[in-house]
Amino acid sequence: MPKRKVYSILETAYERGLEAAAHGHVATYIPELGKADPNDLGVSLCLPDGTRYEIGQTDKRFTMQSISKVVSLALALKYCGPEEVFSKVNMEPSAEAFDSFVELDLRSNRPYNPMINSGAITVASMLKEHITFNKLLEYTRKVCLDPDISFNEAVYKSEKAHMSRNRSIGYLLESKGIITSGVEESLDFYTRACSMNVTARSLASLGVVLAMDGLDPFTGEQLIDRRIVEVVKTIMLTCGMYDGSGEFAVMVGIPTKSGVGGGLLSASDDRLGIGIYGPALDEKGNCIAGRPILELLAEELDLKLFDKTDIVDELRRAEEKERKQAERESLRVLRHRGVKTFLPFNVRSREKSGAKGPDKE
């Protein structure tokens, strides 16, 4: 597709995103996040050949928040292995908000999935046994192809001072024997992970790495194990938008993870990575501009995971062509033999009704 066409699609998507942003609100339960400008918007695309298409504020820094859950999960799968990780955290979508502990308390002895707070705090409790936060930061820089990712001390402190809810989740996890030691350390690791400063561009880069099964598109280095990427993308698709994941998967069809800092990370398999920054959120805590933007991009750039429209249409056209060819062949044989009455039924009826029949010889 010509560059001009991609930019014009991106511009339309951006306009729709801006309209939607007017109806959203920035997160204020972490006071420092309340300082964000709700009108900020940036969209960055990164293709496997390294080409980037960008519009708006794509290099403005903001905290990763829940998008860090993707990186933490990948690392936990690497250091602890899937058996240990999924013995403590389930892989089922949750019908509750990201910071809820109702389901965990009443209906389960494992958090529903690693993309909600209870699941990610559990993942942090496992990870802290293997690596330091600095190692996580380094790894995040690597997989986001962005050496400038920094730690946002102000957001970290702000969240630490207002984290009664996450603290409740931590101690509930301990009461259920899911976290066996160091609740406070686990919460600290988790909150630090949420406070890494990324840009829409770094998220687009992580998106393309995931889209390419863990390969760095620029160097060809395997940054994340293929099998880990497969698990992570599947969980992003089914759980990445919290209790809005099902509808999002149907309407957008791209594995995506959101964060209350306004970020969205999307990985369109084998095609491209998308990073969005828009701190105005919807009622579920997802970037409100993201949905219209991604819906349009998915439709116009054929990014939907299960959209086989083109292939199905092509197959149908090929079948139709073959059928017509076969009809013509049989007509030719019959005419050659001087047998006019043995036309195939469908050809005869179409000729009678005056419909356009097969091409005449």
Catalytic residue among 190, 198, 233, 252: 190
Nearer to ligand GLN, 142 or 192 (CB): 192
By C-beta, is 53 or 62 nearer to ligand GLN?
62
C-alpha closest to that of 212 among 158, 140, 271: 271
* Active-site annotation holder among 14, 43, 53, 66: 66
Between residues 194 and 288, which has the closer beta carbon with respect to ligand GLN? 194
Q: Is 242 a catalytic residue?
A: yes
For residue 45 the two structure tokens come to 């695309």
Could you list the residues that contact ligand GLN (CB under 6 A)? 65-66, 98-99, 117, 159, 166, 194, 259-260, 285
Annotated catalytic, 190?
yes
Q: From CA 10, how far away is CA 251, in angstroms rounded?
A: 18
Nearer to ligand GLN by C-beta: 99 or 213? Answer: 99
Comparing every residue's Cβ against ligand GLN, the nearest one is: 66
Min dist CB 6 to ligand GLN, Å, is 29
Two tokens, residue 347 = 């050809």
Three-class DSSP labels, the chain:
CCHHHHHHHHHHHHHHHHHHHCCCECCCCCHHHHHCCCCCCEEEEECCCCCEEEEECCCCCEECHHHHHHHHHHHHHHHCHHHHHHHHCCCCCCCCCCCCCHHHHHHCCCCCCCCCHHHHHHHHHHHCCCCCHHHHHHHHHHHCCCCCCEECHHHHHHHHCCCHHHHHHHHHHHHCCCCCCCHHHHHHHHHHHHCEEECHHHHHHHHHHHHCCCECCCCCCECCCHHHHHHHHHHHHHHCCHHHHHHHHHHCCCCEEECCCCEEEEEECCCEEEEEECCCECCCCCECCHHHHHHHHHHHCCCCCCCCHHHHHHHHHHHHHHHHHHHHHHHHHHHHCCCCCCCCHHHHHHHHCCCCCCCCC
Out of 53, 60, 69, 118, pick the active-site residue: 69
Distance CA 12, CA 299 (A): 13
- Residue 256 or 296: the one with the smaller Cβ distance to ligand GLN is 256
Instruction: Give the shortest CB-264-to-ligand GLN separation in angstroms.
Output: 11
Closer of 99 and 146 to ligand GLN (Cβ): 99
Minimum separation from the CB atom of position 70 to ligand GLN (A): 11
Residue where the block lists tokens 């994941």: 245
Q: Which of 242, 257, 266, 268 is catalytic?
A: 242
Nearer residue to ligand GLN within complex by CB, 70 or 272:
70
Provide the minimum distance between the beta carbon of 308 and ligand GLN in the complex, in angstroms, as a whole number.
Answer: 32
What is the distance between the alpha carbons of residues 179 and 107, in angstroms, rounded to a whole number? 18
- What's the closest the beta carbon of residue 98 comes to ligand GLN, in angstroms? 4
Q: For the CB of residue 32, give the shortest distance to ligand GLN in the complex, in Å.
A: 11
In angstroms, give the least distance from the CB of 267 to ligand GLN: 18
- Catalytic, 139? Answer no
Which residues are part of the catalytic machinery? 66, 69, 190, 242, 260
